[in-house]
Amino acid sequence: MRAPSKRLEPGSPGKGDRVPCWADVEQLLDRLAETGERLPSAHGDGATILSYQRGRRLMLDSGLRSRWVAVDDIRACWDTFERLGRIRREDVLEPGRCSAFMVELFAHVPGVLDQDGAERWLALPA
């Protein structure tokens, strides 16, 4: 039986007016993999990164199942976020089919704006 994992709290605001970038996502992935913090999810208990091969892939464990997620898929979703400036789960269904994880991950990047309402969406500062 695994020891209970730590729960991650949402990211703190960015420094000044700095817009979050891909390097911030990589730093968050590094920290999550190193500490074993659980990334919460609105659709379950969240997920933990069990293994991380920086720049290649990560093993994501939701408690019910584990799966490999390509870092290139995460990067493609981040590129979509940067291009649109604002995303919902529907915007990051592909690639990888882990939109809940992508939204939760990006929501914890310092400086990303997380808006809950009838429909949750994330935004980059203008």
Question: Structurally, how many domains does the chain consist of?
Answer: 1
Q: In this predicted structure, what is the pLDDT of residue 85?
A: 96
Indicate whether 8 belongs to any domain. Answer: no
* CA gap 65, 4 in Å, rounded: 16
Indicate whether 29 belongs to any domain. Answer: yes
- Quote the mean pLDDT of the chain: 86
Q: How far is CA 26 from the centre of its chain?
A: 10
Indicate whether 67 belongs to any domain. Answer: yes
Indicate whether 11 belongs to any domain. Answer: no
Q: Give which of 103, 95, 92, 97 is closest to 72, Cα–Cα.
A: 95
pLDDT in tens, 2-24: 333 344 445 544 445 689 999 99
Indicate whether 51 belongs to any domain. Answer: yes
Whole-structure pTM value: 0.84
Indicate whether 13 belongs to any domain. Answer: no
Residues 82-110 as b or e (16 or more Cβ within 10 Å = b): eeeeebebebbeebbebbbbbbbbbbbbe
Please give the residue range of the domain that contains residue 32. Answer: 22-123
